Structure 1
Amino acid sequence: MSQVLVNRIYAVSMKRTAAEAAQTREALLQAALQSFGEVGWKASTFESIAERAGVTRGALNHHFRSKRALLTEALNWGWLDYGARLFSPELGKESGEEFLASLFRTYIALLRSDEQFRSLASTTVLTAPQAFEATDAKSNGLNAWRETIVDALKRDEKSSLDAETIAGLTIAVLQGLTLSAVISPKDLPDSTDIDIAAQALAKGLLH
């Protein structure tokens, strides 16, 4: 067998191995969010997460050195996509009220219809504070939301409250919506009322 052929076979094998590793990692991140969202921090063990992902405990240990490392990576991975949906660059071009209404509308709709988003949101709001020290930057998963909201609202000077205060209240509303999605989903606005509810929330915060 020629060296060129050997090199090609090796390259194909390495590419396949890397792709399989990436698939395993993504399966573990998805399983982790589902587990943390459903049963919380303490009940989510490496064994249960690995089983949910359909891999061995050894495979999980190969990718993540600890449960906190897994949680951190799962949150970063999850918000990479959903954060872009909630805080698109276009939102900053709207008025403060339009920005908040768009944020609430999208957030509520995702909570109602997207199981993975519910897991991500509940893990961010309910699980992460249990896993990290209050002073740890990793525990402040909502800080990025707060900063984005403040930046968007600073362009709108119509409100009687400052942007920092409104951002804090907005975060509180998002946390409350997440808690409702976990404990009492029926309390979330249904699909026909989301627009009205989102507008009312935005108007109430700004006026």
Structure 2
Amino acid sequence: MKRTAEEAAATRARVLEAAILVFADKGWKDATFHAIGARAGVTRGAVHHHFGDKKLLLEEAIGAGWRRHAAPALEELVRPEHGPGRRLTGFLTRYLRLLAENESFRALAVASVLVAPQVLDVGEGVKEKIEETDQWAALILPLLDTPGLRQGLRAEDALFTVMAMLHGVTVTAATAPHELPAAEAAAGIARAVVAGLLPGQEEG
């Protein structure tokens, strides 16, 4: 029984991952259970067994995707051995590299920005993304609320700048991926952003 439960969980995870890729590639209308099952290596019936309808599958796939992909980047924000500037630089670098290098994360951006608004009001997947970005903001704000913040800026204004950048590059990944910077440029871009907010602390 335990093995069966583990296998079911593994199948469910494969379907969620495949669903993001298929929704991003084919759009809402053409992302059929058959296409998703084929991408996941399971039958259409297996997809339907785990997810009663396509809307539910989209919601859960987006929610699971944001939780899974954000976790490594968020680790950078809570490294006690690093100062605020270096934590923020690490986070932005990891996020930019994910968008540049990870097909699944770019597909998640497409599904969130272009596909979900067609069919979801504020479904569970969309709420998950909002909750995820709220978590980012909660971790980033204390890093900016420091005497090292650029003169004339409030921590809340600096947070707005960071979050606007994150949202902007996510939308770019969904609508104009060819404009994304290469992965090797990520660290330099991140350092430049942090240097503008926390002068001299991007490496500290």
- SS of the aligned residue for 1:192 comes to helix
- Between structure 1 and structure 2, the one with the greater Rg is 1
User: What is residue 50 of structure 1 aligned with on the other side?
Assistant: 37
1:27 equivalenced with 2:19 (yes/no): no
User: Number of residue pairs matched?
Assistant: 193
Q: CA deviation at 1:49?
A: 1.4
Q: CA deviation at 1:16?
A: 4.0
AA paired with 1:46? Answer: F
1:31-83, CA deviations, whole angstroms, 9 ceiling, x for partnerless residues? 10101222333332223212322322221111011222212222333233322
User: What is residue 72 of structure 1 aligned with on the other side?
Assistant: 59
AA paired with 2:60? Answer: E
- SS of the aligned residue for 2:184 comes to coil
1:144 counterpart (111, 128, 132): 132
1:102-157, CA deviations, whole angstroms, 9 ceiling, x for partnerless residues? 222101111121112222233233333333215x5642313421343234323423
User: What is residue 10 of structure 1 aligned with on the other side?
Assistant: none
Percent identity over the alignment is 37
Q: Per the alignment, do residues 169 and 128 of structure 1 end up closer, same or farther by CA in structure 2, a change over 3 Å counting?
A: farther
Q: Per the alignment, do residues 204 and 68 of structure 1 end up closer, same or farther by CA in structure 2, a change over 3 Å counting?
A: farther
1:82 counterpart (49, 69, 75): 69
Whole-Å separation in 2 of the counterparts to 1:206 and 1:71: 39
Task: Give TM-score scaled by structure 1 length.
Answer: 0.75
User: What is residue 171 of structure 2 aligned with on the other side?
Assistant: 179
Backbone CA RMSD of aligned residues: 2.9
1:59 equivalenced with 2:46 (yes/no): yes
Whole-Å separation in 1 of the counterparts to 2:76 and 2:193: 21
AA paired with 2:36? Answer: I
User: What is residue 130 of structure 1 aligned with on the other side?
Assistant: 118
Task: Give TM-score scaled by structure 2 length.
Answer: 0.76
- SS of the aligned residue for 1:50 comes to helix
Structure 1: unaligned runs, 5 residues or longer: 1-13
Whole-Å separation in 2 of the counterparts to 1:198 and 1:53: 35
Whole-Å separation in 2 of the counterparts to 1:166 and 1:131: 33
Within 5 Å, which residues of 2 pair with 1:98-137? 98-134=86-122, 136=123
Structure 2: unaligned runs, 5 residues or longer: 200-204
